């Protein structure tokens, strides 16, 4: 270490100078150190955001721990296999309890509330009354921004989206409103801080500039948090809306009334037919919920901005300037409203065309094998190109319309409104410039500089708020287009709900204008003595309803318990229509139908349906694996059923019950029909209706299957066009070409005697076969000139006599 005393005088002086400079720098730093006010709004907001984030983190952590603890107690309490835990149980209050496996031997308990069926019965009148008053609503909706038809539709659907005030969607909506107000308030603080930063920059005040810059970075955190929270709540609200609406639709669409089938029958009703209903339930509901939830932020934020910024600018610019601004907004809104194309209608048409194109593609995928056999790729390509061309033409039309409107909209909202914003923000500065010069000269120059900085600060604030106000107004005008699109989505969703409420009514009439016709047919369930038809008409559902002509005369028959019925007739005579009415798929307009409970009946359609799943699922359909276990059955029982229908080889061919395939393409026609009989054996109902259910199997297998059903004690009603099936049945209902029918009791004494007589006649004829064969050979030899000893006349007489014995009146050449 070098001692200072050993240095020369010059060097000592240099070191002293350096020490003095350091001391001066430290003193200057202490005097000019940036001081942060911890009670200022940016700091308080920053700390509040940190505490709120930490609080939410602790809350969700504790909630997850509590959920896991409850799952642990539930796993400890329930000592059933995991597969059974996934089953559902109906509680005393009608709710459904479901245990879902989460892996690692953990389950989660979910309670699904019981749907209020009375609510659907009450809601249907909302839709009915809406269409009754539709003409009045349309007349009152002319010339206003928000169409009253749209508002009425939305108010009815709103009861589904938010069924009660104390629900999750309400909290999400209120939270979104809170954050929208908070974002506007933060924007106001940021505008003031922006003006302060510019003022300090012009004044070259580095200390205050650094302090305000720190405030800027601090307040940016809660502002960013608020923006992210609004987007999060927007997505959560859309999901909540979609969940409630989809569950409401599923409760009507997939219940015992079978609305999913009835809604597809309105092909003759232009106001009631829903083409591509799958698109309504999936894509349209999603677009509607996204559009509605996004509308709260797209309209709520600018609306709140207009209120907050207007109040603040009124104090700076005066009431006249605010009136001028809003007058400009009103005039612009009227002009844009008149120039706005029908975006809602265009959006609805595009959705419809997209559905058509999608279904063409779906049809090609589902029927690719059949199309391949027919070599029909060229015609399918033509149809697909035609549908795609219609869609592209419409999209091209939308693009052109949007371009023309976008030019006008951007010019007015972005640039014209911004120019007015500069004018109104500069009014205080321009008014200050026209003061008398002598008055200005009397002002101290230093005070004048301070006023200039204040004017600059106020101009920056006013300019930022005016631009924000113009942006809020422009976004509010832009939202008109969003409202128009929402109108189209709302109309399609409302139409879907209306048609579902129509067909959901147990007394739905396809011919009624509003779906609630005058149906007088009586259905008696839990009938213990077989099946009874009295004045039973078979009417195809159409726009004429019960006034339509029946396919054939009204049926009045009674099939007692333990007897089997064959409904015989040519294709297209109406055999399947009878089963549709009995099953409740078609309306029963008049007469009396007495039948057993629906749980005691099973229906096999002409086309066997195979669900997505494994081989086990194909046998037990429409039950689930959990239902099978609760019924006390296992895979050994299923193997026994496959053996009974001669399909046990499937286990060797496919592997096991758990293999998953596209079964409709795996099974042959005969295997499909035998699999349907296997479902009957698993269900073991009292009655089964077979609609051409054995026409793809061999005769010996058909005999075996009918005998199997008889052995199991299962009564059956068979629809067929083959008289050979009479031998398995006790009664025959024959439908003839002249729309008449004939009922025969095959077990009556008269029919038995006629059958015995016919058998004897056939036996007599069979006994003469050898004589006829010999005589046939003699005639052939005579005709060939090889048998000349026979008398020609006696030979012809003998042939005539033989034909007469057979019951013929003439001989063929």
pLDDT reading at 147 higher than 60 = no
What pLDDT score was predicted for residue 680? 93
pLDDT reading at 515 higher than 80 = no
| CATH code for the structural domain at 117-504 | 1.20.1560.10
Q: How far apart (Å, rounded) are the C-alpha atoms in residues 510 and 495?
A: 16
Give me Rg for the CA atoms of the chain: 43
pLDDT reading at 711 higher than 80 = yes
Question: What rounded mean pLDDT belongs to the chain?
Answer: 75
Nearest C-alpha neighbor of 472 from the set 335, 336, 334, 329: 329
pLDDT reading at 385 higher than 80 = yes
pLDDT tier at 376, thresholds 50, 70, 90: confident
Could you identify the residue written with the tokens 């009450």?
122
Q: Are 691 and 725 in contact (CB under 8 A)?
A: no
What pLDDT score was predicted for residue 513? 60
What pLDDT score was predicted for residue 33? 56
**Residue range 234-242: average pLDDT?**
89
pLDDT reading at 681 higher than 90 = yes
Residues 465-479: pLDDT tens digits? Answer: 666 666 666 666 667
Residues 769-807: pLDDT tens digits? Answer: 888 888 777 777 777 666 555 444 444 455 545 445 544
N- to C-terminal Cα separation, the chain:
145
Burial class (CB in 10 A: 0-12, 13-18, 19+), 189: middle
Nearest C-alpha neighbor of 337 from the set 145, 478, 142: 145
Residues 33-74: pLDDT tens digits? Answer: 556 666 677 777 777 777 777 777 787 778 778 777 776 666
126-140, 174-188, 789-803: which has the highest mean pLDDT?
174-188
What pLDDT score was predicted for residue 159? 87
Q: How far apart (Å, rounded) are the C-alpha atoms in residues 601 and 581?
A: 13
Residues 222-236: pLDDT tens digits? Answer: 888 888 888 888 888
Higher pLDDT, 61 or 658: 658
What stretches of 40-141 adopt beta strand conformation (E)?
A: 88-90, 96-103, 106-112
Nearest C-alpha neighbor of 686 from the set 659, 657, 662, 717: 717
What is the length of the chain?
Answer: 813
Tokens of 252: 């009507």
**Residue range 191-197: average pLDDT?**
72
What pLDDT score was predicted for residue 414? 64
Enumerate the domain spans of the chain. Answer: 80-114, 117-504, 522-610+667-756, 768-805
* Ramachandran region, residue 340 (left: φ > 0; alpha: ψ -120 to 50; beta: rest): beta
Could you identify the residue written with the tokens 């409107």?
405
Residues 283-333: pLDDT tens digits? Answer: 888 889 988 888 877 777 777 766 766 666 665 666 666 676 667 667 776
Architecture per CATH, 522-610+667-756 = 3-Layer(aba) Sandwich (3.40)
Alpha helix (H) ranges present in 141-281? Answer: 148-161, 168-202, 206-253, 259-262, 277-279
Q: What is the DSSP string of 771-811?
A: HHHHHHHHHHHHHTTS-TTS-HHHHHHHHHHHHHHTT-SS-
What pLDDT score was predicted for residue 808? 43
pLDDT tier at 717, thresholds 50, 70, 90: very high
pLDDT reading at 635 higher than 50 = yes
**Residue range 254-269: average pLDDT?**
74
What pLDDT score was predicted for residue 73? 67
Q: Are 721 and 571 in contact (CB under 8 A)?
A: yes
pLDDT tier at 386, thresholds 50, 70, 90: confident
What pLDDT score was predicted for residue 407? 75
What pLDDT score was predicted for residue 675? 93
Q: Are 480 and 337 in contact (CB under 8 A)?
A: yes
Q: How far apart (Å, rounded) are the C-alpha atoms in residues 591 and 807?
A: 45
Percent of the chain with pLDDT over 90: 9
Strands 555-559 vs 531-536: parallel, antiparallel or unpaired: antiparallel
pLDDT tier at 269, thresholds 50, 70, 90: low
Domains 117-504 and 522-610+667-756 in one fold: no
243-247, 459-463, 800-804: which has the highest mean pLDDT?
243-247
Q: How far apart (Å, rounded) are the C-alpha atoms in residues 153 and 494?
A: 7
110-119, 407-416, 433-442, 600-609: which has the highest mean pLDDT?
600-609
What pLDDT score was predicted for residue 103? 56
Sheet holding 687-691, edge to edge: 601-604, 687-691, 715-720, 565-568, 731-735, 741-745
């Amino acid at each position: 270490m070098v001692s200072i005393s050993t240095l020369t005088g010059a060097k000592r002086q240099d070191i002293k100078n350096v020490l003095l400079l350091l001391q001066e720098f430290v003193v200057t730093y202490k005097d000019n150190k940036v001081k942060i006010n911890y009670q200022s709004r940016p700091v308080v907001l920053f700390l509040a955001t940190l505490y709120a984030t930490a609080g939410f983190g602790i809350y969700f952590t504790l909630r997850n721990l509590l959920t896991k603890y409850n799952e642990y107690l539930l796993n400890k309490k329930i000592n059933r296999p995991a597969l059974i835990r996934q089953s559902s149980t109906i509680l005393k209050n009608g709710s459904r309890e479901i245990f879902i496996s989460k892996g690692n031997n953990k389950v989660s308990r979910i309670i699904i509330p019981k749907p209020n069926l009375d609510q659907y019965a009450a809601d249907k009148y909302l839709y009915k009354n809406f269409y009754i008053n539709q003409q009045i609503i349309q007349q009152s909706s002319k010339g206003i921004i928000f169409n009253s038809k749209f508002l009425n539709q939305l108010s009815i659907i709103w009861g589904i989206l938010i069924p009660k005030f104390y629900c999750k969607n309400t909290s999400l909506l209120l939270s979104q409103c809170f954050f929208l107000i908070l974002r506007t308030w933060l924007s106001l603080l940021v505008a003031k801080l922006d003006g302060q930063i510019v003022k300090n920059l012009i004044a070259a005040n580095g200390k205050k500039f650094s302090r305000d810059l720190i405030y800027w970075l601090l307040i940016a955190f809660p502002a960013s948090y608020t923006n992210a929270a609004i987007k999060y709540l927007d997505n959560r609200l859309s999901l909540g809306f979609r969940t409630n609406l989809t569950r409401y639709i599923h409760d009507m669409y997939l219940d015992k009334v079978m609305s999913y089938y009835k809604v597809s029958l309105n092909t003759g009703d232009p106001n009631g037919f829903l083409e591509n209903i799958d698109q309504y339930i999936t894509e349209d509901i999603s677009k509607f919920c996204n559009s509605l939830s996004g509308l709260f932020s797209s309209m709520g934020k600018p609306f709140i901005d207009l209120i907050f910024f207007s109040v603040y600018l009124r104090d700076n610019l005066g009431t006249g300037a605010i009136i001028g601004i809003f007058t400009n907004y009103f005039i612009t809104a009227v002009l844009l409203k008149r120039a706005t194309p029908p975006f809602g209608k265009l959006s609805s048409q595009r959705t419809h065309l997209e559905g058509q194109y999608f279904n063409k593609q779906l049809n090609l995928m589902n029927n690719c094998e059949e199309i391949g056999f027919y070599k029909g790729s060229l015609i399918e390509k033509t149809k697909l190109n035609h549908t795609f061309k219609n869609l592209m033409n419409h999209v091209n039309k939308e693009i052109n319309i949007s371009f023309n409107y976008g030019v006008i909209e951007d010019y007015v909202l972005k640039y014209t409104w911004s120019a007015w914003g500069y004018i109104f923000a500069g009014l205080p500065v321009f008014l200050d410039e026209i003061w008398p010069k002598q008055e200005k000269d009397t002002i101290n120059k230093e005070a004048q500089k301070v006023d200039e900085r204040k004017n600059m600060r106020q101009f920056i604030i006013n300019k930022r708020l005016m631009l924000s106000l113009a942006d809020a107004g422009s976004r509010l005008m832009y939202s008109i287009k969003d409202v128009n699109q929402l109108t189209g989505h709302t109309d399609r969703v409302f139409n879907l709900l209306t048609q579902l409420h129509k067909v959901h009514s147990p007394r739905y009439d396809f011919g009624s204008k509003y779906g609630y016709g005058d149906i007088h047919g009586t259905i008696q369930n839990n009938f213990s003595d077989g099946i009874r038809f009295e004045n039973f008409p078979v009417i195809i559902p159409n726009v004429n309803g019960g006034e339509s002509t029946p396919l054939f005369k009204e049926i009045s028959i009674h099939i007692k318990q333990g007897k089997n019925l064959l409904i015989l007739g040519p294709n297209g005579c109406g055999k399947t229509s009878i089963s549709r009415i009995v099953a409740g798929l078609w309306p029963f307009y008049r007469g009396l139908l007495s039948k057993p409970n629906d749980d005691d009946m099973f229906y096999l359609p002409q086309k066997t349906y195979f669900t997505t799943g494994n081989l086990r699922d194909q046998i037990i359909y429409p039950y689930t694996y959990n239902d099978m276990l609760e019924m006390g059955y296992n895979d050994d029982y299923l193997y026994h059923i496959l053996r009974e229908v001669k399909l046990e080889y499937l286990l060797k061919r496919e592997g096991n019950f758990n293999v998953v395939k596209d079964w409709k393409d795996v099974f042959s026609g005969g295997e499909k029909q035998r699999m349907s009989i296997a479902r009957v054996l698993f269900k073991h109902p009292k009655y089964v209706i077979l609609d051409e259910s054995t026409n793809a199997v061999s005769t010996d297998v058909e005999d075996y299957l009918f005998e199997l059903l008889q052995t199991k004690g299962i009564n059956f009603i068979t629809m067929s066009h083959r008289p050979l099936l009479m031998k398995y049945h006790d009664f025959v209902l024959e439908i003839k070409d002249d729309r008449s029918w004939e009922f025969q009791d095959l077990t009556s004494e008269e029919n038995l005697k006629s059958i015995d007589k016919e058998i004897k006649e056939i036996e007599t004829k069979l006994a003469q076969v050898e004589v006829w064969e010999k005589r046939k050979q003699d005639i052939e030899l005579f005709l060939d000139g090889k048998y000349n000893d026979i008398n020609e006349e006696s030979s012809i007489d003998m042939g005539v006599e033989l034909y007469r014995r057979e019951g013929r009146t003439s001989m063929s050449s």
